Amino acid sequence: MRGRGESISLTKEDLDLLPDKPGVYIFMDGEGRVIYVGKAASLKKRVRSYFSGADPQNPRLAQLRKKIGNIDYIITENQTEALILESNLIKRYRPDFNINLRDDKSYPYIGITWEDEYPRVTFFRGARRRDTLYFGPYAHAGAARETIETLRKAFAFRSCRKPHPGKSSGSPCLDYHINLCPGPCIGNISKEEYRENILKVRKFLEGGQEEVIEELRRRMREEAVREEYEKAARTRDRVIALERIMQRQQVFSLKEGDQDVVGMAEDELDVCITVLLVRQGKLLGKKEFLFPRLPEEDNARVVEAFLRSYYQTAPSLPREVLLPLKLNEEEEMLFSSWVERLRGNRVRVKTPMRGEKRLLVRKATENAASYLEMSKIKRASDLEWLSEVTGVLMKELNLSRVPYRIECYDISNFGPHAVTGSMVVFEGGFPRRKDYRKFLIKSDALDDVSRMTEVLSRRIRRLKNSPLFDGGSALDPALAMKLTSFQKIPDLILIDGGKPQLGAALKVIKEFGLGEIEVAALAKSLEGIYRPGAGEPIILPRDSKGLYMLQRIRDEAHRFALEYHRSLREKRARKSVLDDVVGIGPMRKRRLIECFGSVERIKRATLEELRSLEFLDERSAINLYRALHGGDDVEVL
């Protein structure tokens, strides 16, 4: 299964799969280390250019080309956003081939010389100074300079470059006469008034645009009421100028700070979820996860399951998570509470319906759709590879036939309740999800070997009734199309486990007289493969394509078993003791979860705490307390 935050490995022949859209491309070596980051107006054309010619005059490019192992990319709205993202990624990864080819200090910034008596707002590029506040980077020098000139129209400030304002002659410059400078050199404005102007510039650049513009609008209305129409017109022009800046900056600047933006795309086989990482208002990168689509799962359930899995091990937690669709209200509340405990303070979960955040979610969804489409095309181009892999497996495992249909079994037993098993099916290297099956372990067996015996017995027993054993190869093709998963004969049964699990499978197959079915067990320890009659496991090379396929199938069986087990646990949790308490309905249950965060915390609550809740009457509080502490035998004072 591809994904899990990794990038798709592209060969030269795969370059046509890249989208013809603006974005950032990331070159990685064979070990997954980022070695170069670049921006492009067209990802397809730019990346292909690296492989279009020998370019003997550029040995550094030739060296880069040799080291490229994987290629990843992030689609952006335009080239401006791509340049900003390129800068952020270079700072984050410090790629070897970027350091000499492009120094990130060359990006343009706006600086405020805050320590000056009359601070300047000026264009900066190069080494930074401690006495200057920096804002940026900007897409290009023109964008930064244009922003400065627009800010001068809104908040007049000096443009002279010396620490002290004014010319040696003592006369004001042209800027003063055209209302772009308030004239500090001739004492036309006090230090306090001038610094107030610079404070507004700083607030605007730090993200307080709406507040600054609203203040100007209020001033414009007051000037109009006083019939100072010329002043009101100048203030109106300042507002228009600032709004234009906001429109240009909107594509890459967020006032909210840290966000994870989740996008989702799906096809008939797979689901792809992309997470855009926004930190301190800047897009720093993305992560993509590809996993099988289960027909019985709606999209909200898929996102819920992903969020729980992802944030359990996420390296950083944001202040806000933006989702592509609305979750169940109770699930959203529980997730928020859980992430808050991990992060230590409040985390907002939102499904934006409009505005900038909605555009970000759409961008994440677009990246997910692009990744999914590329994966789909890659699958189709991998048919030759799959043919080679099945041939390798047949030879290395000494199988009697090509393993076209492989069934894999796994047991999930976290805790004593709802032990589950899974059966996943791959045909021709692709998952056949409609043939997947779930097993709820019915016996009281305490070990995985006995549980595996139960699962295989239930599966093989159904196989004995297959029409394939009454006519075999002469089976009518139309009837063969109607066979259920349990009626089809696997070419290989793969067990997640070692020699004990292999022995259990062989015993079951022998008991039902189906000894012709091939069996193998894949142990997590050293990834050894156990086969009947072999004392020692078969150890395939780490780069073996056959081993990769078996690991992929085994991991899918584990995921499917774990998912079923988790759904049962969630169902058990939802069907909690709260559901059986007289007087506690869905509304009160939700209110209790909101107040305490979880059923475990409700259990720790005292009777007095329950009685103090305004939405619980006396009798319901007592019923709840008794239900959580041992029934009617609990004495209530």
Q: Mean pLDDT highest for which of 47-61, 149-163, 492-506?
A: 492-506
Helix (H, G, I), strand (E, B) or coil at 329: helix
* pTM of the full structure: 0.39
User: Which residues are within 8 A (CB) of 91 and not within 5 positions of it... i.e. 6 or more apart?
Assistant: 104
User: Which residues are within 8 A (CB) of 330 and not within 5 positions of it... i.e. 6 or more apart?
Assistant: 590, 593
Task: Tell which wins on pLDDT, 312 or 626.
Answer: 626
**Lowest-confidence region among 96-105, 331-340, 478-487:** 96-105
Give, in words, the CATH class of 12-103: alpha beta
Domain 259-379 has CATH 3.30.420: yes
CATH T-level fold of 396-563: Nucleotidyltransferase; domain 5 (3.30.420)
Q: Which two tokens stand for residue 47?
A: 């990346």
Q: State pLDDT tens for residues 413-432.
A: 765 566 888 899 998 777 88
Task: Report the DSSP pairing between strands 348-350 and 420-427.
Answer: unpaired
Q: Select from 33, 67, 34 the least CA-distant residue to 50.
A: 67
Q: For the chain, give every domain's residue range.
A: 12-103, 109-249, 259-379, 396-563, 576-633
Q: State pLDDT tens for residues 57-115.
A: 556 677 788 888 888 888 887 776 776 777 678 777 778 776 433 333 455 778 888 78
pLDDT the model gives residue 384: 63
* CA separation for the pair 587, 567 (Å, rounded): 23
Q: Tell me, yes or no, if the two domains 259-379 and 396-563 fold the same way.
A: yes
Q: State pLDDT tens for residues 432-465.
A: 888 899 888 888 777 888 999 999 999 888 887 6
Q: Which two tokens stand for residue 473?
A: 């190869």
pLDDT the model gives residue 62: 74
CATH T-level fold of 576-633: DNA polymerase; domain 1 (1.10.150)
SS (H, E, C) 456-486: HHHHHHHHCCCHHHCCHHHCCHHHHCCCCHH
